[in-house]
Chain A
């Protein structure tokens, strides 16, 4: 069974290089509401930069990317650190950082509610943040989570409960240029053949998400 992914991130306020948080128009979520619906996964992405960078972190041939992942409650722990690393390296791969040497680009991701497929939602929120900030990118990317249920069927964009029942959960970051895999992380165990099936499903779902990005941006710029 293949389900279409829920159009993921809710509101994405961002402060781009030339806009402050208050001036920047928000990309409205599909329903037009700005508060996350209960039961949905939502992540707020804020993007700051290119801005000044601290001396020790300054890189002469590219921008320094920093990612802060804030959990819904409590302080970020080891799991958040590991996700931050994955997110940061994904952004670095698509961001044309060499155009902004000696600067810092900070992406702050605040989890508002987690109802499954959290990492995919973080990736989507961050990509829309980067898009809204108008930073030069080599391609867009999106996150897709697939769960393999005990019968071996693929569930796209699983809920927290489906993730728990699944024998494997795979998250992919897919780029928009050639639908290649930017990042992947897995939970549980699966066969190589099952992973390839999930990848194909994720690549197909990516088309839907990129179309969603397009619609959002179009709506934003068609308003006055």
Chain B
């Protein structure tokens, strides 16, 4: 039982909600599924969105000045912040020319009543694994680019993704925050002194990372085994019978199709998800390009 969330005024009124004497709020509390079904029958949602519509997405780059790169992403009420910290380390012996990327997703107890403090729960661990898979599958950064001296020195990028407000669709918000933060990373140039063998960091000369691919995630909730709704809120995720997340890159290739159980879907329905994900990629790419341009007025 959480505090009532501020709602955007619905553009379309819900149809025939319990008649004039009775508001919709009791139905929402007592029979949330029935409440949702009445909206979905008319192809809209209680917050005024259509079934295939994302919540308002905002992104702020460079929010944490002490990090090497950071971004804050909001999807409606869901707020996620990602900070990238770069450290120097020796590369692993079996991959001497590669650096490391270490992602971690945190769902602290402050972001929602559903999480307890303590060691990360299943959802946080599954989200961390998902982000690690997306980095690996999409090759967002070539790990060879992080190597400074073969077998001696390489960058380790710690990508900490922390949820500040949980209102569903944490995977999309996290993937977006990660991408935006990585685009913001400025690494100082490092040279190895031939005589002493020590590394010298030149903080005055900073270079951006080379981002090879732009993976963008699009999540869907499956309602009543058939209906697919985009960008589910926490309430919608709880009522849904399953979720699907599709990650695409700019070449329309699939970096991940993640459906952890739930209602069975046909191949055609999955194809619908992929098509929606491809259009979402264009929207997000446009947004991120605009933000990057706005902070570098040249």
Q: Is the CB of B267 within 8 A of A181?
A: yes
Enumerate chain A residues within 8 angstroms of B267, measured Cβ to Cβ. 181, 196, 199-200, 203
Given A81-B129, A82-B129, are A189 and B258 also a contact pair (CB < 8 Å)?
Answer: no
From residue A42, how far is it (CB to closest CB) to chain B in Å? 23
Is B257 in the interface zone, CB < 8 Å from A? yes
From residue B64, how far is it (CB to closest CB) to chain A in Å? 25
Enumerate chain A residues within 8 angstroms of B40, measured Cβ to Cβ. none
From residue B110, how far is it (CB to closest CB) to chain A in Å? 21
Is A26 in the interface zone, CB < 8 Å from B? no
Q: Is the CB of A79 within 8 A of B252?
A: no
Is A78 in the interface zone, CB < 8 Å from B? yes
Contacts between the two chains (Cβ within 8 Å), count? 106
Within 8 A of A (CB), among B116-156: 122-123, 125-126, 128-130, 132-133, 136-139
From residue A158, how far is it (CB to closest CB) to chain B in Å? 17
- Rounded to whole angstroms, the CA-CA distance of A115 and B185 in the bound complex is 39
From residue A62, how far is it (CB to closest CB) to chain B in Å? 13
Find B258's partner among A78, A180, A186 (CB 8 Å cutoff): A186
Enumerate chain A residues within 8 angstroms of B242, measured Cβ to Cβ. 89, 93
- Rounded to whole angstroms, the CA-CA distance of A200 and B257 in the bound complex is 16
- Rounded to whole angstroms, the CA-CA distance of A97 and B257 in the bound complex is 27
Q: Which residue of B has the minimal Cβ distance to A181? A: B265
- Rounded to whole angstroms, the CA-CA distance of A195 and B255 in the bound complex is 11
Q: Is the CB of B258 within 8 A of A190?
A: no
The contact string, 1 if C-beta is below 8 Å from chain A, for chain B 102-126, is 0000000000000000000011011
Q: Is the CB of A183 within 8 A of B259?
A: yes
Q: Is the CB of B126 within 8 A of A182?
A: no
Most buried by A among B122, B129, B133, B260: B260
From residue A183, how far is it (CB to closest CB) to chain B in Å? 5
Enumerate chain A residues within 8 angstroms of B7, measured Cβ to Cβ. none
Enumerate chain B residues within 8 angstroms of A187, measured Cβ to Cβ. 133, 136-137
Q: Is the CB of A190 within 8 A of B264?
A: no
* Binding site secondary structure of chain B: mixed
- Rounded to whole angstroms, the CA-CA distance of A86 and B263 in the bound complex is 12
Within 8 A of B (CB), among A83-120: 84-93
Is B262 in the interface zone, CB < 8 Å from A? yes
Is B4 in the interface zone, CB < 8 Å from A? no
Q: Which residue of B has the minimal Cβ distance to A91? A: B261
Given A89-B242, A186-B137, A189-B253, are A81 and B125 also a contact pair (CB < 8 Å)?
Answer: yes
Q: Is the CB of A81 within 8 A of B122?
A: yes
Is A122 in the interface zone, CB < 8 Å from B? no
Given A82-B130, A188-B137, are A183 and B252 also a contact pair (CB < 8 Å)?
Answer: no
Q: Is the CB of B249 within 8 A of A189?
A: yes
Q: Which residue of A has the minimal Cβ distance to B123? A: A85
From residue B105, how far is it (CB to closest CB) to chain A in Å? 10
- Rounded to whole angstroms, the CA-CA distance of A189 and B266 in the bound complex is 21
Is A184 in the interface zone, CB < 8 Å from B? yes
Find A178's partner among B123, B249, B261, B264 (CB 8 Å cutoff): B264
- Rounded to whole angstroms, the CA-CA distance of A162 and B38 in the bound complex is 49
Given A84-B122, A89-B242, A196-B267, are A78 and B262 also a contact pair (CB < 8 Å)?
Answer: no
Find B261's partner among A92, A200, A203 (CB 8 Å cutoff): A92
- Rounded to whole angstroms, the CA-CA distance of A173 and B271 in the bound complex is 17
- Rounded to whole angstroms, the CA-CA distance of A179 and B147 in the bound complex is 46
Given A81-B129, A180-B264, are A189 and B259 also a contact pair (CB < 8 Å)?
Answer: no
Enumerate chain B residues within 8 angstroms of A92, measured Cβ to Cβ. 261
Q: Is the CB of B125 within 8 A of A192?
A: no
Q: Is the CB of A93 within 8 A of B261?
A: yes
Q: Is the CB of B261 within 8 A of A79?
A: no
Q: Is the CB of B254 within 8 A of A186?
A: yes
Enumerate chain B residues within 8 angstroms of A182, measured Cβ to Cβ. 259, 261-262, 264
Is B256 in the interface zone, CB < 8 Å from A? yes
Q: Is the CB of A90 within 8 A of B137?
A: no
From residue B115, how far is it (CB to closest CB) to chain A in Å? 14
- Listed by A's residue number, 12 A-B pairs whose Cβ atoms lie within 8 Å are A85-B126, A89-B261, A175-B264, A182-B264, A184-B258, A184-B259, A184-B270, A186-B256, A192-B271, A196-B270, A196-B271, A199-B270
Residues of A within 8 A of B (CB): 78-79, 81-82, 84-93, 170, 173, 175, 177-178, 180-192, 195-196, 199-200, 203
In the A-B complex, the 4 residue pairs with the smallest Cβ-Cβ separation, listed nearest first, are A89-B261, A180-B264, A82-B129, A90-B261
Q: A78-B128, A82-B126, A93-B261 are in contact. List 16 more A-B contacts (CB 8 A).
A: A82-B130, A89-B242, A89-B261, A177-B264, A181-B267, A182-B262, A184-B259, A184-B270, A185-B257, A185-B258, A186-B258, A189-B254, A190-B254, A191-B253, A195-B274, A203-B267
